[in-house]
Structure formats: C-alpha cells, structure tokens
Structure 1
Amino acid sequence: MRVIVCGAGQVGTTIAKHLASEGISVTVIDVDSQLIRRIDESYDVRGVVGHASYPATLKKAGARDTDMLIAVTRSDEVNMVACQVAYSLFGIKRRVARIRHTGYLGHDISGLYSADHLPVDIIISPEIEIAEGIAWRLRTPGAFEMVPMAGGLVELLGIHADARNSVVMGERVGDIRQMRQFEGVSIIACVRKGRSFVPDDHDRIEIDDDVYAIVRADCADEVMAAFGHREREARNLVVVGGGNVGLHLVKKIRESSRNVNIKIIEQSLERARLISDELGAGVIVLHGDALDRDMLDEAQIGLAETIVAVTNDDETNIFASVLAKQAGCKRAITLINKRNYEALTPSLGIDAVVSPSAVTISTVLRHVRRGSIAALHTLKEDFGEVIEAELTSESRLVRRPIGELGLPPGMKIGAVVRDGQVIIPQATTQLLVGDHIVALVTYSYLRLVEALLGTQRERIG
C-alpha cells in the first residue's frame, strides 16, 4: 500500500510514522523544507518539498502509483484542492481531508464532497471530534479518558488510581476481576511512571497508576467508585476559549442537558459577540483574559466543578487551568497540542488532557485499517490501540476457547458483544463468527493481530 500525507506538522508526522512502522510506503509533502528534512532523517518515509495541491508536486510524490491521499495541512482549501487534483489527474482511489472551518462543514450534506464536485471520501473535523470527546469525559467526571464503543454498550475508561477510598489499591489484577464491583470490567492497560504495559493477572495496581479498562456501560459508575472516584457530574462549567471547539462543546452539552450553568471566557470581543448571538440565552459569554484573576472571579471559577480550557494556545490553557484549580475549581480538562507538555500536567493538578493530534490520528488510522475493524482509539500514541472488530469466518480467533488461542502478549480482549449483549470474556469463552470484540493491541503486535482477525490490507481500487 502506498500513501501520500500532505502536511508535515505534528499530525502529519505522527500519521506518517505510524504507517511507515507498519511497512506502508509513505511520502510526506510540505512547503517547509526544514520539516521535510527532519521527517526524512527521522523516519522511514520519503519527503517532498512543495505545495500539496500543485499537480507537479503530487506527481513528484508518486501520485500515479498511490492508493490513498491524506491531506492534513493547516489550510482547509489546500486539503480540498489536493483531494480534487489527486482524483481528477491521478485517479487516487481514497482521499482523506482535514477540514476545520464550520463554513465548509455546514455544506457536507448538500453533496459538496461528492465525486462530481469536491471528491473527498473521508472528512476529518478535529474540532467537532474534540468537543464530542470532552462531552463524553464530562459525563464520567472521575475519568481522564472516556470513549463509548460498540454502539455505547461498552466504554473505554482511563482512570487515575489514588489511595483515597479505593478497594483496588495494591490488589492483583486477577483478584480484582473476581470482585463483585468488577464483574463487567476488564483491565487492559496500565501506565506507571511513564511506562505503558499490558498487565497480567499477577500485576498489582499501585498509587498514581493510570489504568485503562473496558467497562460494560451500565457498570461505569460502580467501577469509578471502586477506584475511589465519586465525583458528581458538573452543574457549573467554565469554558475558556470560544473558538470552534468551545462553541461545539457548549452546543453538545446543551443538547443533552439544560441543567448545566455554562460560562464562556473569550478574549476576542468580536468572537465573544458572535458566539453570544449564536448561543442565545442560557449561556453567559464573558469578554476578557482567562489569565486575569479578576476575570476568573467574575466567572465564579471557585464555584465551578469543571474548567475546560480549549483556546488555540497551550500555555493559556495550562495556566488558566492551574489558576482555576488554585481558586477552588474541582477539575480541569485542558487541550494541549505540544506532546512535551503532557508529562508536566499531573504535577500541575490538571485532571485530563485532550490531544487534538491523537483525535485526528485515531480517525485516520481507522480508515487505513478498514477490513473488519469498525472503530479504533489510539492509546498513548506510541503504545497501542483499542479496536472494535467483527469476527468473520476467516478469523483464527473463532477456532477454540480464548484460553487456548495463545494470544500474543500485546493483545487483550476486553469485551465481546454478541446479539446486543456484552460478555466480559474468560479463558473458557468461545468466540463466534459475527461477534464484535473490543481489544487492546500494542503496535509491536499489530500485524500479528491483523492476521488473527483475518484482516487483509489489499491494494485499494
């Protein structure tokens, strides 16, 4: 398989690195020669300097022999035109474009992106997906990660383990599984002091571990309580940043609940007026600087259960979150683009970090994987993925009970969905054709797991 990635920013670079590590031939295009030189020297990819939407640049990148184009430059217009040129001149069969501006997204249903107009097969809208992800986190306030899977029957939860009122601290994973509170739970991964690993039955949960679990949706609250998290869903919320993410988030919250008091702090007066008009009554929009303590006081940050900082500036998001926590806000959800900052957030009291690049990468990889994989969520970009896959007759997983399959150490099946029912699998569980499994797969074992699933990466066309 051959892929062209347009854009050598953080998202494009990470996508290229992932695909190249899986043996896919990747070429990256960017106008910045320094970025291209860096990616050329650091990863097993080819770099081309030039405008991604120019026919000559795409030709130089090998577009005539390419199966897929992924356009993730900073410009919506460049991404769309690159897809058009890829389709019209080079016949590239599958085209993915990152599109951010709501002015373009609003016309998606009108057929704008059909082959007869702008031939974009897959639209990635990071702002909308980030807003949805934050809204999910707000519904499970103690979790730093929450992703519904299998049609909402199963949830992927990221839970920080601390010593307060927790029945799991110091317990072995195998023993935890026998507890009544964990009948609907499978612990699939753990991050300890920066190291990610797949725990076995003998591993114990330690203080300050970040634990990832696959949970039956109706068990989520009980599981959170067992980990010592009994936080209430926010009724007073302060959103810092009235850009596309903040606006989409507030709309999502208001769709699901009218009982949340929301205040938005926006530094641009013009933008503040615009979102105030669009949201209407029920949301208070404050014009000012979220790093100004007087502004935070006006927003009554000390009475808020949660602050969500989603401006375009990482430093503003981080410091606004820190100031809010110091003023008495109970929880901080912070959007951070630079991966180097993420390691600092626990010591600063930030409860959950949202990574735009991780959201985009998960979406792109889901479409690259295709085959039997219906959903995918990236865990710790260099560690692995949680996938949802349907088992076919070609899968080697349907031959005998799970305990006899000899699954690789980098794969852990967390849940099986059969006829609308969730099964937390045991060693004796027999998988059937048509089952949907939700499983952790580490990148070192990805190709082997694809073979077990019967997933083939065929040339597109």
Structure 2
Amino acid sequence: MKVIVCGAGLVGTTIARQLAAEGNEITMIDVSPERAQKAAESYDLRGIVGHASHPDVLERAGAADTDMLIAVTFADEVNMVACEVAHALFNVPTKIARIRAQSYLKPEWSDLFNEKHISIDYIISPEIEVARAIHRRILTPGAFEMIPFAADRLRLIGVRLADECPVLNTPLRQLTELFPDLSVNVCGIVRDGNLTVPGADDHLEAGDEIYFVALTDHVQRGMRLFGHEEREARRVVIAGGGNIGLFLAKEIEAAQSSVILKIIEANKERAEYVAGQIRSGVVLNGDTLDMDILSEAKVGASEAILALTNDDEVNILTSLLAKRAGCQRAITLVNNPAYENLIGSLGVDVVVNPRSTTVSSILQHVRRGRIRGVYSLRDGAAEVIEAEAVETSALVGQPLRDLDLPSGMMIGAVIRGGDVMIARAETEIEAGDRVILFARTDAVKKVEKLFAVRLEFF
C-alpha cells in the first residue's frame, strides 16, 4: 500500500515508522528539511520537503497513484486543504485528517466534511480521543489501560503486578484450572521493558505489566486476582481546563453524576468559560503547582488527580504534589516520550500519551478488509485488533490448539452474535465471528500474510 504522511511530528513519524516496518511504501512530507531527512533515514521511507497542501508538493510525493493520505501537520487548515487537494486533483481514495479545533467539529457544521465541500473520509480529534481514553481508565481503578469491545461487554485491561498479587509464579494454564468460572485471558506480559505474548507455561512475576481480556462482568474479579481492589473514584480533581479537561469533565458528569468534580485552570477567562460549560463541577482559577490552590480543591481527600495541562513538567509536578498531599491516584498527560519510562518510578500511576491514542485512531482506518477496530499499545510495540472471520479462513472449524498461529500473536476472545467468549484451547471459530487478536508489532505482518487471502483482515 502506498501512503503519504503529511507532518513529521510525533504522530506522523510514529505512523510512518509502523507502516514502513510492515512493508508499506511511505512518503513523508514536512516543511522542515531536518525533520524530513531524519524520518527518511530512520524509517526507510521517502522524505519530501514542502507544504503538504501545495499541489506541486503532493505531485512530487506521488499522490497520483497513492492509496491513502494521512494529514497530521500542526495546522488544522493545512490538513484540511491537503485532503481536499488530494481529492480534487489526484483522486486519492482515502483521506484522513487530524483536526484539533473543536469549532470545526460542532454538530451544526457536520456537512462541512464531505465530497461536496471538504473531502475528508475520516477525522481524528486528539483531544476527544484522549479524554475518552482517560475516562475509561477512571472507570477501571487500578488499571493503566482499558479498551472496550462488543458494546463494552468485553474489555482489554492493563495492570501492574505488585508483590501482593496472589497468582505470582503460577503457570498461566493453571489459572483456568484454579478459576474455571472466571472468564479472563492473559494476552501480553511486559517484563524489564520487553513485551511478550505468553504461552500456557509462562508465569507472572512481581513488577510485570500485563494485558488481559475479560468479560466486563468479570473484570472486577480479574482485578482482584491480579492484586487490585481499588475503589472507583468519587472525588476527582482535573488540573487544566483546556479542550481535554473540559471534554473529560462533561464525560464524567454525564456518566458518573455522583462524582464530586473540581477543575483548576490558570487562565481566568478560560476558567470562566469552563465554569459556564459544566453543570455541577467547581472551577478554581489558579496555578496547579500552588499548594494553596490544591488545598482549596481538597486534592488530599481526592481519589484521583488528572493532570491535563499543555505542559508535561507541570503535569508531572502537579501529580507528585497531589500524591504527596494524600491523593490516591494520579493520571498524567505526557507528550514527551522521554518522560514515560521515568515518571512511573516517581509515583505516577497512569501515563497517558496523546500520540499513542491518536495513532490508534488512525490505524483503525489504515488496516484493510474486515477490521472493526485497531488499538496501538506501548508506543506501537503491540496492537489489539478486532476482525471478522470469513467462511474460507483457516481459522474456521478447528480448535485453537490445532492452529499453527505465528509467534507473537494470540487470540484473546471471540464475539459470536450476542455472545462473547474468552478463547480457550478447545474454542472453534465460526464464519462471521469477530476475533480479538493481540499481536506484537513485529508479528502484524505475519498475521497479515497468513490471513490476507482467506480472512481478508487487511
């Protein structure tokens, strides 16, 4: 597949790196010669210097025979124009644009993005996606990741294992024997920074970060099994009243009306605007690093601090101050990937990376065929894929124990009509089933080759 990626920022380079590693033909456009050259040298792709919205630049990038254009420059308007030019002059089949400004996304302007006006096939709004990702983590206390499937009847959960986890050093195959009525499947283990897809004889150790799928009704029991019994937050403080903070506050008010919500915003005009947009939350105007403001927000008596300003350092320090004051849990927005591996040891419970969230949203539209959903994990180290099996698939009609699946991949669950089943060795997949796959990124290409013809995943 030929793809043009417009914008060599963090999101653009992450997408380009991932797609190039899978054998796609990638061309990257950026106004900076340094960024374009660095991307070309680092990820084995073609770099073009210029404005992504200019017709001559798109022509040099090969737009005439490109399958997809992904516009993720820093400017919404450049992304929109790039898509429109790609459509009008080069008839690019699929156009994806990242749009940050919420004004463009209001329901009353929904007709703006279609073939008659601005031709964009899929719009990605990072602020909305990040806010929803944070809210999912709030709904599962103790988890650093939560992704719902099948209308939230199935969830993928990420948790850290502490010394008190009751199933440490137990072979995974024994979990089913010990807890036969618990619908849980461990799909991934991160140990010493390395992500593996475990086998039945593998075991868990203290300090591991694991990913498991579970029926939603069984998540709470699964969390207890892995040593987590945290209570759902009832008192929440949001540090930062930007687009993410405001959207998240609205989400919490709509879904968790009993939550006592406080928002701290440094800009007085913005604080007044946020106060007019929410129903019951209290908005405080002040610096999130000011202990008097944190004390006024009663952060020490709160179950969760959500640090969501546009400054990584402020978010990290705010989280640490809140934890020191007695706040039980800190969820911190961090854009710089260099910080991610450092701050966990400082006491921050959950790190949210907007880049990974945006990449996941884009990948759902990049994967071809019968893909229902794609989620990127751990900065692209793994993917969770929801795909539909067809009648001619090699998966259909055989127990999973008899399938020759590539290493680095695991089938976690099967969705069949109204039923959701955790995959076991004896499970047989039927045509029309939706399969939840967990795969390391280096195995995605193997999965694609294995199922390209028969399963039409991609």
Give the TM-score taking structure 1 as reference length.
0.96
Is the CA contact (8 Å cut-off) linking 2:387 and 2:457 kept in structure 1?
no
Structure 2 SS opposite 1:117: coil
> How many residues are paired up?
456
Which residue number corresponds to residue 210 of structure 2? Answer: 211
Tell me if structure 2 keeps the 8 A contact 1:172–1:203. yes
Q: Does 1:77 align with 2:77?
A: yes
Corresponding letter in the other structure for 2:195: S
Unmatched runs of 5 consecutive residues or more in structure 1 = none
Range that drifts further, 305-314 or 399-408: 399-408
Change (3 A) 1:348 1:231: same
The partner residue of 1:401 within 391, 399, 402 is 399
Compared with structure 1, are the counterparts of its residues 133 and 181 closer, same or farther at alpha carbon in structure 2 (3 Å cutoff)?
farther
Give the C-alpha shift of residue 85 in structure 1. Answer: 0.6
Residue pair 2:388, 2:457 contacting (<8 A) in 1 also: no
Once the two structures are TM-superposed, the CA of residue 77 in structure 1 deviates from its matched residue by: 0.7
Which position in structure 2 is the counterpart of 1:289? 287
2:112 counterpart SS class: coil
Q: What's the CA shift for 1:452?
A: 3.6
Contact 1:263 1:283 survives alignment (8 Å): yes
Q: Which of 357, 360, 365 is 1:359 aligned to?
A: 357
The equivalent residue for 2:388 is 390
Aligned to 1:126: 126
Seen in structure 2, the aligned counterparts of structure 1 residues 347 and 197 have a Cα distance that, compared at 3 Å, is same
Q: CA deviation at 1:107?
A: 4.3
Report 1:53-452 matches (<5 A): 53-107=53-107, 110-164=110-164, 166-180=165-179, 183-280=182-279, 282-452=280-450
Whether contact under 8 Å (1:159, 1:211) holds in the other structure is yes
Unpaired runs of 5+ residues, structure 2, are none
- In the TM superposition, residue 190 of structure 1 has moved relative to its aligned partner by 0.6
Q: Following TM superposition, by how much is the alpha carbon of 1:224 offset from its aligned partner in structure 2, in angstroms?
A: 0.7
- SS of residue matched to 1:178: helix
Q: Distance in 2 between matches of 1:412 and 1:187?
A: 10
Aligned partner letter, 2:74: R
Task: Give, as a single letter, the amino acid of the residue that structure 2 aligns with 1:315.
Answer: E
Alpha-carbon distance in structure 2 between the residues aligned to 1:32 and 1:227: 47
Residue 298 of structure 1 and its aligned partner are, at CA, apart by 1.2
Q: State the alpha-carbon separation in 2 of the partners of residues 224 and 48 from structure 1.
A: 48
Q: Deviations over 1:73-126 (max 9, x none)?
A: 111111101111111111111100001111001047631101000101000011
Output one character per residue of 1:287-337: Cα deviation in whole Å (capped at 9) or x when no partner: 111111111111111000000111111111111111111110000011111
Task: State the 1:456 CA deviation.
Answer: 4.8
SS in 1 for 2:64: helix
Match of 1:8 in 2: 8
Distance 2:78 2:190 in 1: 38
Partners of 2:254 and 2:128 lie apart in 1 by: 14
Deviation of 1:451 (Å): 3.6
CA distance in 2, matches of 1:147, 1:422: 15
- For the residue of structure 2 that corresponds to 1:334, the secondary structure is strand
4+ aligned runs moved over 4 Å, structure 1: 455-458
1:344 counterpart SS class: helix
> How many Å separate the matches in 2 of 1:399 and 1:228?
37
Q: State the 1:181 CA deviation.
A: 7.3
Cα distance, 1:457 vs structure 2 = 8.3
Whole-Å separation in 2 of the counterparts to 1:89 and 1:395: 39
Q: RMSD in angstroms over aligned alpha carbons?
A: 1.4
Deviation at 1:203, TM superposition (A): 1.6
With over 3 angstroms needed to count, the CA separation of the structure-2 counterparts of 1:67 and 1:455, relative to structure 1, is farther
Q: Look up the match of 2:48.
A: 48
Give the direction of change, closer, same or farther, for the CA distance of 1:390–1:231 in structure 2 (3 Å limit): same
Q: Distance in 1 between matches of 2:132 and 2:386?
A: 19
* Pairwise CA distance, 1:150: 2.1
Does the CA-based 8 Å contact 1:131-1:246 persist in structure 2?
yes
Which range moves more in the overlay, 63-72 or 391-400?
A: 391-400
Q: Distance in 2 between matches of 1:41 and 1:450?
A: 26
**Secondary structure of 1:441's aligned partner:** strand
Task: Provide TM-score, normalisation by structure 2.
Answer: 0.97
Q: Secondary structure at the match of 1:89?
A: helix
In structure 2, how many angstroms separate the alpha carbons of the residues matched to 1:313 and 1:108? 32
- Using the TM superposition, name which of 430-439 and 102-111 deviates more: 102-111
- Contact preservation (8 Å) 2:3, 2:27: yes
Distance in 1 (CA, whole Å) between partners of 2:428 and 2:109 is: 42
Per-residue deviation at 1:43?
A: 1.1
SS of the equivalent of 1:406 reads coil
Q: Distance in 1 between matches of 2:170 and 2:109?
A: 51
Farther off after superposition, 7-16 or 189-198: 189-198
Match of 1:389, SS state, is strand
Query: 1:243 Cα shift?
Result: 0.5
Give the secondary structure class of the aligned counterpart of 1:271. Answer: helix
Task: Give the conservation status (yes or no) of the 8 Å contact 2:370–2:457.
Answer: no
